[in-house]
Amino acid sequence: MNSFKQKLQHIMDWEYFPILVFTFLILIFHLFVRPSGDDIIYGTVFYKEPVLTFIQDAYFNWSSRIIIMPVAAFFAGNSFWLFAIANILVYFLLATMISKLFVYENKLQANWVIVFLLVCVPFVTMMTTAGWVVTNIHYLWPLTFSLVALYPIKKIYFNEVFRGYEYLLYLVATVFGMNMEIVAAILVTLYSVFVVYFATKKKFSLYLLIVLLVLLGNIVFVFICPGNGVREMQEIIANYPEYATFGIIQKLAVSATSFVFSIDQNFLLLITTGLAWFFSWQTYKKWPFRLIGISPFIFCIMVNTVRVIVLSPKFNHLFSLVTGNTIHEWITFSGITNGYLGFFHYLGLVLMTFFVIALMLMTVLLFKDSNKLGIAILAVGASVMSRVVMGFSPTVYVSGARTFLFQYIAMVIFGLIMYQEFNPLMRAENQQRLFWVLCFMGGCGYLESFFKLI
């Protein structure tokens, strides 16, 4: 009996045990979800035409995702449990790669924090928007493989040795990830930054240079792919005709309002901005700095409040009882997401601009004396830009919640970096309290997703 307890304790003390727990929690999701929406459409593809014909049709008529789309069609057309096994492994890989890229010490505790933050990501509502199978493969898989693609940068930075087979694995992950446009932009940006950085440090890497050239070639491929232009025109005609007349400012306004009205109810942004508020108030005693620290948290509270006001039938009913009018006489979701831009769109742009400025200032203030300042800025910058680029797509509202995945994972990374940087500076009892607060919030976030399944 004692031997069994020792073995169990040994497993629980393993630094990757939290990620096994996360994987099990994701497995539970797969017991309840089933193919739907685009899963059904993709599932019939290879009964109608050969793979190469499907890829050719996609290239000329729909999308440059000529790698992702046939993979999605394959899994959608076979047993759901074949996909479930592969998908669960991808979720495991997601958490593992965040750990390998951004955790340097006290790995067991840090990996628990990764799990607490990840379970607050509303995977269920995001990944069922176009079908569980298709949405995961089009969004989660490229994002996860992009983290694998970034791992060589860390190994080169720390002068770690590459095994021969690793080059092939990293290259395959890069090719799959870059087939998704947002991921392609992220990878080419980061590889460009680090190729230049390593060049200044006289640390030349032929592998990084080759991958950068592949990434740049892929960007050209995305722009010249005729299917992307065809799809954009079809989406504009079908979903957002006015979009064809928009300039840069109008598209930025659309991006800003889509953040407010398309985001899911979730705990993640509240936790990460709440941590920033807490740590900034621990670090600074002057009120101007404290106001900068709390501003992003207040903004997130406002966003959640606006969503309740506009989207909640119960609130609308209460408003009608009190005022005799409906809130929808003033503002409606359909009014925001259709037609020409109005006051609320530009108000959203102004507020989002202040939010982004406060977020970046908060990040600089928190990490100005830390060697993690660059990573923190990259994480927050990736979070912001992942939403900005959505304004340049006519499907910004139609795509809905799933497009927030990139922002959420960037904020998971930012929250992890903050925790590792500032938690050790607190007293031991406060560290323990914060750990259990994150555990409680993670539990609430997971239950929120779980209850949407049953």
Read off the pLDDT of residues 199-236 as tens digits, 9 standing for 90 and up. 898 888 889 999 999 999 999 999 999 999 898 888 88
- Work out the end-to-end distance of the chain between its first and last CA atoms, rounded to an integer number of angstroms: 38
Q: What is the rounded CA–CA span in Å between residue 75 and residue 211?
A: 28
> Residue 131: helix, strand or coil by DSSP?
coil
CB neighbour list of residue 354: distance below 8 Å, 6 or more residues apart: 295, 299
Q: What is the rounded CA–CA span in Å between residue 122 and residue 273?
A: 17
The whole model's pTM is what? 0.92
Write out the two tokens for 235.
């989406």
206-224 helix and 181-200 helix, angle to the nearest 10 degrees: 150
Last residue within a domain, chosen from 233, 252, 277: 233
**C-alpha angle with apex 97: 177 to 85, nearest 5 degrees?**
75
Q: Does residue 325 share a domain with residue 177? A: no
> Within a domain: residue 181?
yes
Write out the two tokens for 75.
């899994």
Q: Does residue 214 share a domain with residue 76? A: yes
| pLDDT tens for each residue of 240-288 | 888 888 888 988 888 888 887 777 767 898 899 999 999 998 888 888 8
Q: Does residue 251 share a domain with residue 125? A: no
Closest among 237, 149, 135 to 186, alpha carbons compared: 149
Where is 433: in which H helix or E strand? helix 428-451
> Within a domain: residue 259?
yes
Q: Does residue 143 share a domain with residue 28? A: yes
State the total domains in the chain. 2
Q: What is the rounded CA–CA span in Å between residue 316 and residue 313?
A: 5
* Residue recorded with tokens 């006289």: 202
Q: Does residue 257 share a domain with residue 215? A: no
> Within a domain: residue 308?
yes
> Within a domain: residue 143?
yes
Q: What is the rounded CA–CA span in Å between residue 296 and residue 210?
A: 39
> Phi/psi of residue 16, each to 5°?
-100, 10
> Within a domain: residue 350?
yes
| pLDDT tens for each residue of 288-343 | 888 988 999 998 888 777 766 666 666 676 777 777 777 666 666 666 767 678 87
Structural domain including 410 reads: 240-454
Q: What per-residue confidence (pLDDT) applies to 192?
A: 93
Burial class (CB in 10 A: 0-12, 13-18, 19+), 21: middle
Write out the two tokens for 380.
């927050």
Q: Does residue 273 share a domain with residue 171? A: no
Q: Does residue 49 share a domain with residue 146? A: yes
Residue type present at position 338:
N
Last residue within a domain, chosen from 174, 205, 233: 233
| pLDDT tens for each residue of 339-391 | 678 877 888 889 889 989 999 999 999 998 888 998 999 899 888 888 888 88
Q: Does residue 434 share a domain with residue 285? A: yes
> Within a domain: residue 119?
yes
Q: Does residue 250 share a domain with residue 199? A: no
Average pLDDT over residues 35-61: 91
Asked if 3 and 49 count as a contact pair (C-beta separation under 8 A), the reply is no
Q: Does residue 275 share a domain with residue 421? A: yes
Beta strands in 160-251 (DSSP E): none
Lowest-confidence pick of 13-17, 178-182, 185-189, 324-328: 324-328
Q: What is the 3-state secondary structure (H, E, C) of 325-350?
A: CCHHHCCCHHHHHCCCCCHHHHHHHH
Q: Does residue 210 share a domain with residue 158? A: yes
Q: Does residue 197 share a domain with residue 178? A: yes
Last residue within a domain, chosen from 201, 233, 265: 233
